[in-house]
Chains A and B, each alone.
Chain A
Amino acid sequence: MSTPFYVSPQQAMADRAEYARKGIARGRSVVVLTYADGIVFVAENTSRALHKVSEIYDKIAFAAVGRYNEFENLRIGGVRYADLRGYSYDRADVTARGLANVYAQTLGTVFSSVGEKPYEVELIVAEVGRTADNDQIYRLTPDGSVVDEKNYVVVGGNADSIGNYLGQRHRVGMSLTEAVKVAVDSLARDPNGGSPRALTPEQLEVAVLDRQRFQQRKFKRILGNQLGRLLDGDQSAEADDEDDPAATPPSDE
């Protein structure tokens, strides 16, 4: 009987982390930052149907990078978790912290298990609060760690350099126009110091959690003309709710 090769736990975990990190680094980044009225999500995404940013619940949104089928599966699981909890208890009892905890347990358990490939995804769960002080943004890494971020976070390839650029320019209380512009500028930068790329509305996926929205559900995608006007610095585009057919009025229950 031969003795099996010994691999130290530290080495095994490092190998798995490196594996997951490579999967994530291949993807384009997602930028999440706070502005005066809520939280804005900006991602580079040319697909009109495969989203990186999605609604989870009234005040909670989800953003992810990495392997699509893995984070899509987690997104659907999150929607089911939130809807079940809101139905069993009350809509006010669904929180981003609870959802982040569920994701952390799921990611961490898989990461620690020898028999399964780790998730190649990095997640953001954000909740808009009654005031800016109550906004919450959680970043979850493949090993199940949860980081409670303040003001802004970047995940995906080149996250570090984009984050540095963003950190220098983010300001508390920015307008939506300013926030979107800063986010797009940071995504467009070449990490190797070359000239920045020009990103068009067709290449961007933008969504907001807007606490000023009168509907109970605060998530809204910014599409087409409205996005174009925001990128042109048109302040009046912020209030445009016309191209949002999926908006839902407050529940009368």
Chain B
Amino acid sequence: MEANTRGTGRLPAAFLTPGSSSFLDFLAEHKPELIPGRGGLPEGSVVEAPHGTTIVAAVFDGGVVIAGDRRATMGNVIAQRDIEKVFPADEYSAVGIAGTAGLAVEMVRLFQLELEHYEKIEGTTLSLEGKANRLTSMIRGNLGMAMQGLAVVPIFAGYDLDLGRGRIFNYDVTGGRSEERGFAATGSGSVFARGSMKKLYREDLTAEQAVTLVVQALYDAADDDSATGGPDLARKIFPIVSLITEDGFRRLTDAEVAETAVAITDERLTRPNGPQAPLI
């Protein structure tokens, strides 16, 4: 009867402990080495890794659009031409990431799991505010790496089912969160993208107009920021554009984005600086 109960394959205590519905909390207790950015770096080390650049988002009537360019740079080298920077977080939200690509993709994967985990354990989804707050915790956890050049800075966009509209949250490197009204941009090309959207944005945009807006913004960002890639007609590489409405997350196909990108490129042949807003 004295069965040896040591190491017999039972679920470890961390699995059966009542309490948090957060996968992050569970990882921190059970396997902290799996949390991205927890390893830290030796003092004074400099790591060269691919960095993603520009993410833009805009609210339109009925939802929100979020888009990212496709270039990753490592110093002055183009590390990748077709990187993906916009991911669905769950059915009604998405994350676009600027910063260290490897850490960022891993963090998004963990964030997706965090939301799914909560939903499976609790049987209900987090509110949009709740999702945004969880992302804050994750970015703050990466602060040590950020101070050594491996920052991750996202934009979180989602459709708030309770309020019936799209919302955008911008983050800084410490996880500080601010909700943006109308449009937002992050990454090295964000200054130019925001300037572009500032002149083109209006509140009554349709979904199609919002898509055109974000592609225009990425084009302008690519025009002035060497780390941002514009539409690449030769290789048929186009920005990633995703819509989030009350029907959920939908990523536009390459053909759909190509149509918008080609129209914009054609127009730029006659007006290289893009649409001109009235002075007054």
Q: Which residues of A contact B (CB under 8 A)?
A: 9, 12, 49, 51, 54-56, 73-74, 76-77, 79-81, 83-84, 86-88, 101-102, 105-106, 109-110, 112-114, 217, 245-249, 251-253
CB < 8 Å neighbour of B251 from A73, A77, A252, A253? A252
CB < 8 Å neighbour of B113 from A12, A83, A109? A83
Q: Which 3 A-B pairs have the closest CB atoms?
A: A105-B9, A77-B15, A112-B3
- Count of chain B residues with Cβ under 8 Å from any Cβ of A? 43
Task: Check A87–B109 contact: CB distance below 8 A.
Answer: yes
Task: Check B125–A246 contact: CB distance below 8 A.
Answer: yes
The secondary-structure label for the interface of chain B is mixed
Q: Which residues of B contact A (CB under 8 A)?
A: 1-3, 5, 8-11, 14-16, 18, 23, 26-27, 30-31, 34, 84, 86-88, 90-91, 105, 108-110, 112-113, 116-117, 119-121, 123-125, 161, 248-251
Q: Residues of B contacting A81 with CB < 8 Å?
A: 11, 15
* A103 closest partner in B (C-beta): B11
* Known interface pairs A12-B1, A77-B16; A248-B9 also in contact (CB < 8 Å): no
Task: Check A249–B249 contact: CB distance below 8 A.
Answer: yes
Instruction: State how many angstroms separate the Cβ of A19 from the closest Cβ of chain B.
Output: 15
CB < 8 Å neighbour of A74 from B8, B16, B116, B249? B16
Task: Check B1–A73 contact: CB distance below 8 A.
Answer: no
* Known interface pairs A113-B3, A248-B90, A252-B84; A87-B34 also in contact (CB < 8 Å): yes
Task: Check A88–B34 contact: CB distance below 8 A.
Answer: yes
* Known interface pairs A105-B8, A106-B11; A84-B27 also in contact (CB < 8 Å): yes
The secondary-structure label for the interface of chain A is helix
User: A74, A88, A245 — which one has the most chain B CB atoms within 10 A of its CB?
Assistant: A245
Q: Residues of B contacting A101 with CB < 8 Å?
A: 9
* Known interface pairs A12-B1, A77-B15, A81-B11; A248-B91 also in contact (CB < 8 Å): yes
Q: Residues of B contacting A77 with CB < 8 Å?
A: 11, 15-16
Q: Residues of A contacting B31 with CB < 8 Å?
A: 84, 88
- Determine the distance from Cα of A247 to Cα of B91 in the docked complex, in whole angstroms: 7
Q: Residues of B contacting A247 with CB < 8 Å?
A: 91, 248
CB < 8 Å neighbour of A102 from B5, B11, B121, B161? B11
Task: Check A246–B119 contact: CB distance below 8 A.
Answer: yes
